[in-house]
Structure 1
Amino acid sequence: MSDVFEGYERQYCELSTNLSRKCHSASLLSDEEEKKEKIVEIKSGIDEADVLIRKMDLEARSLQPSAKAVCLSKLREYKSDLNQLKKESKRVSSADAKQSTREELMESGMADPLAVSADQRERLAMSVERLDQSSDRIRESRRIMLETEEVGISIVQDLSQQRQTLLHAHTKLHGVDDAIDKSKKVLTAMSRRMTRNKWIVGSVIVALILAIILIISYKLSH
């Protein structure tokens, strides 16, 4: 289900409930000015409901086939509900709306002017039910969102621990590199000293040989 569609659906259910109440209260008004103001509010609300229906229609048709079928089914119910509201609005707007309402109430034995017709009660019940369903879906979405957030936090913590481990390993590797560099320097110095010692030993041997030769030559000559 689309979050956008659910948002439009929730707005429409609230608007439908308010319009139904306004239609009923307008039908009972005796003051013409108040009645006209109420009718203007009803017509404005119906226009707004029309806009919401069109938005839901566009959103439903853009969804995947599985979600699209569910949304279009709900949309048909909302269109039927809106048509009922429009009929109710026209009835209230007519010149003899108040008289017609009184006659309907008298015929049905409903003498109380504040009583709600069966059709209006049914529409109010449907609107309340849709609001409850929307609230349930919102709570479910919120629960899933919180669970997703917890999973995300857990993943971030794991990544942070892995980062610390990698940084620690990098530090150790850097220390090993430093030790290897120092070892190379020591070996290089030792190699140089060994080479220098070889030259010194060689020079001493050559000098001894020359000295021996000189001594032998001196003895032979005398």
Structure 2
Amino acid sequence: MKLNVEKKKEKHVEVKSGLNEADVLIRKMNLEKDFKQVSSPDANQSTREELMEPGMADVHALQGVDDAIDKRKRVLTVTTMSRRMTNGSLVRESWLSFSPSS
């Protein structure tokens, strides 16, 4: 019985030690991340580096795609508005030029 209790205590100490080591490592990683952000001349640079880590998307490529989509939306909006205005003018002109025969 005593042997079993001693093993459990040892295991408890090992687990607690492992958790403490993990906690220290996590804090160190957080400090390194904070240091990168603070010491970076460009605040977005550290974020960009963080996103470019393996498995993450390339921010520059995504930004280019977003810009292209926004530009296309603007062109389509202007074109659509222009067509509506032209169609409206044509309708008004045809309505005004219509004269009923007496």
| Structure of greater Rg | 1
TM-score by length of 2: 0.47
Relative contact order, higher structure (CA 8 A, sep 6+): 1
TM-score by length of 1: 0.24
Greater helix fraction, Structure 1 or Structure 2? 1
